[in-house]
Amino acid sequence: MSSGEGFDFSSLVRSGIDARDYAPGEVIVHEGDAGDCMYVILEGEADVSAKGRVVTQLGPGALFGEMSVINDEPRSATVIAKTQLRLVPITRKRF
């Protein structure tokens, strides 16, 4: 997971990738699941938990899920919308 500072992710939305909205409490990815895309948070906050414990919180500009795309390994954490959340998925093919 990284901050994504220095890159204007809004250009991804303008380039035709559809943003996805999640309600508070909605699970975006589950720890242990296969992953074929990573996500960029455009708006809102998310909790990241591993082995049942919240390990960090993410906000606008943050990336998550990139290690599943890079290493083709299962998700290392569960990510749940803490507030209303707007994300842009970036598929392995696009990455």
**38-48 per-position pLDDT tens digit:** 999 999 999 99
Question: What percent of the chain shows pLDDT beyond 90?
Answer: 58
Interval 49-72 mean pLDDT: 92
Q: Is the pLDDT of residue 86 over 70?
A: yes
Q: Is the pLDDT of residue 93 over 90?
A: no
pLDDT, position 36:
86
Is the separation of the CB atoms in 57 and 45 below 8 Å?
yes
pLDDT, position 41:
92
* Between residues 69 and 32, the one the model is more confident about: 32
pLDDT, position 94:
65
Q: Is the pLDDT of residue 1 over 80?
A: no
Q: Distance between CA atoms of 62 and 72, rounded to whole angstroms?
A: 20
